[in-house]
Structure 1
Amino acid sequence: MQRISLIAAATLALLATTAVQARPLDAIQKEGTIRMATEGYYPPFAYFEGKKLVGFEIDLAELMAQKLGVKFEWKTVPFDSLLTGLSQDRWDLVISSHGITPEREKAVTFTLPHYCSGAQVIARDDSIKNAKDLAGKVVVAQTGTTYLQYVQKNVPSVKRLVNFPTNEAALQALMSKRADAWVTERFLAKEMLAKNPNANFKQGELLFVERIAAAVSKDNKTLVNAWNQAFETALKDGSYAKISQKWFKEDIRCPE
């Protein structure tokens, strides 16, 4: 999901000038393990089944590690800490549905996008479908997301915009009728609505389309180039499509 806040953007820009040296590919290969970080609470991309971390991005990242010839080690941390930790060299790569934005590109280097998505309006009332319909409504979104930022910038006429630390909390606000609409990522919405069929929520229009990518420390060219090469191989050999079909029953890669 393409998630960013104004405070986070400023912090990332500052970190871009103070970041420590990232581990290049040869250092990772010498150790034999790539350290990867994700939020871990974002089904179906990365979440826990018991103590096991699973999801589309987990399968994809582990496939990339295999193609790079290294083992992998996962860290799960709050979303707003992921890119900060990357700039502090606490891990080698972040894969947590980050959308590519100009603000983030000042602080990190993105890989090729591994899927495309967009922001979607979710509501109980089927007349609430797009940005215009949010006028005068109570709208919820996750903290630090571009979905929250989009409503702030483009729908100033909302009655109230409430941010929650997790999508689960935002969904609960909608379910308990404390909100009229929820703005979130379309695949996440599809997953959550499938798990709550009795809620009778309606999926509205896409507000914008975004490209989602993994991130490495700024200008860590050897790692990003190797990752991109492995990713292109996965597209060609069918292993990407197999993972995508497993989680979505469709191919979610970005169109060429």
Structure 2
Amino acid sequence: MFRTTPLRRAFVGLTAALAMTVSLSACGEESGDTGTGSGAPVPSASADTSLADKVPAEIKTAGKLIIGTDSTYAPNEYLDADGKTVIGFDVDLFNAVAQKLGLKTEWQSSKFDAIIPGVTSGKYNIGVSSFTVNAEREKQATMVSYFSAGTQWAAKAGATINPDDACGKKVAVQVGTVQLDDITARSKKCTDGGKAKITIDQYQSQADATNAVVSGKDDAMLADSPIGAYAVKQTNGQLALVGEIYDAAPYGYVLPKAQADFGAAIEQALEALIADGTYKTILSKWGVEAGGITDPAVNPQVS
């Protein structure tokens, strides 16, 4: 999605891309700057001593943050052509946040639904993986909002499908996402109305969900709006967006529940990046500036 400079073929040659993701799921990639991936460089963010002083002692001693991410979600977070470096808009932005805090980053690939448990168990210091902020997640963790995205459907180009009446269709969705809850509720509405259920095919990887629609196994998919638009772009016209973006909500970084104070430092780092233009530069690099926000918050009030 959205860049004129070359991108890794995230959805062309999906089998190879997924094989790399699986084989490297336990690997970490350490970065001290924000210039990951190809394309325009991202300006370096200078450390803010007042914010660095708010970093928990054990993290400050380590000098880095271990980050759990599902690196199959282009253009937000995905593997570069080398098969090990995690790149994307989320990566560039959080690397800049970490720099403000005087820290380096180590990105570790994980299954999406294992990231929050990994944060709460201490395996990861933070989860950065396009997590929609919702009340259920805020019960488990501290969340810091940094972006806004909605849900959008996609189907084979030329297909006739109505997201508001997909009864009897086969729909692809990634495990553990808000879209799974969405399509489950839509299927129940179908059966409550005496219509055929929606067959929900769940995939660990968004790339697998996309491939299922491209191959014709499923009739449609739904995903976060930047992801759907990127998939359409990368499949060279095989897919098309369906309907409008809906249910816009913030993305949030995931921290342990007891680390609200650290969350406040991350919020302030984001505010500094917004003020100095770094935030806008990063979003523009990836073509996702439409989701930019001006008011990051710790545990924002959401439904």
TM-score interval (norm. to shorter):
0.7 to 0.9
Contact 1:241 1:251 in 2 (8 A): no
Point out where structure 2 has 5 or more consecutive residues left out of the alignment.
Answer: 1-53, 191-196, 296-303
Q: Deviations over 1:133-162 (max 9, x none)?
A: 312222111112110111111332244221
Aligned counterpart in structure 1 of residue 91 of structure 2, from 43, 58, 62: 58
For residues 66 and 185 of structure 1, what CA distance do their matches in structure 2 show?
27
2:75 counterpart (26, 41, 44): 44
Map 1:206-245; keep pairs closer than 5 Å: 206-245=245-284
In the TM superposition, what is the alpha-carbon distance from 1:254 to its structure 2 partner?
3.2
- Cα separation, partners in 2 of 1:159 and 1:217, compared to 1, 3 Å: closer
Are the equivalent residues in 1 in contact too, given 2:214–2:239 (CA < 8 A)? no
Match of 1:4 in 2: none
Residue in structure 1 matching 2:167, options 135, 138, 160: 135
Cα distance in structure 2, aligned partners of 1:161 and 1:253: 31
Task: Report 1:145-164 matches (<5 A).
Answer: 145-156=177-188, 157=190, 158-164=197-203
Q: Report the identity percentage.
A: 26
Structure 2 residue matching 1:197: 3-state secondary structure: coil
> Are 1:172 and 2:204 an aligned pair?
no
CA spacing shift, 1:240–1:255, aligned 2, 3 Å: closer
Residue 246 and residue 144 in structure 1: after superposition, are their counterparts in 2 closer, same or farther (change >3 A)? same
- TM-score, normalised relative to structure 2: 0.72
Q: Distance in 1 between matches of 2:233 and 2:150?
A: 18
Q: After the TM superposition, list the runs of 4 or more consecutive aligned residues in structure 1 that deviate by more than 3 angstroms.
A: none
Q: What is the deviation of 1:182?
A: 0.8
Residues in 1 aligned to 2:239 and 2:119: alpha-carbon distance in whole angstroms: 40
Give the letter aligned to residue 194 of structure 1.
Answer: K
- Provide the rounded CA distance (Å) in 2 between the counterparts of 1:169 and 1:37: 20
How far residue 78 of structure 1 moved from its aligned partner, in angstroms, is 1.1
Using the TM superposition, give the Cα deviation of residue 164 of structure 1 relative to its aligned residue in structure 2, in angstroms.
Answer: 1.6
**Cross-structure match for 1:14:** none
- The RMSD of aligned alpha carbons is 1.9
Please identify, of 243-252 and 185-194, the stretch whose mean Cα deviation from structure 2 is larger.
243-252
**For 1:189, what is the secondary structure of its paired residue?**
helix
Asked if 1:109 is matched to 2:142, the reply is yes
Identify unmatched segments of 5+ residues in structure 1: 1-22
Distance 2:235 2:123 in 1: 37
Aligned mates of 1:186, 1:251 — CA distance in 2: 11
User: 1:159 & 1:218 partners in 2: Cα distance?
Assistant: 36
In 2: Cα distance, 1:249 partner to 1:79 partner: 21
Asked whether the 8 Å contact 1:141–1:148 carries over to 2, the reply is yes
CA gap of 1:53–1:126, structure 2 versus 1, over 3 A, is same
Give the TM-score, by structure 1 length: 0.84
Greater helix share, structure number: 1
1:200–1:191 Cα change, 3 Å: closer
Shift of 1:77: 1.2
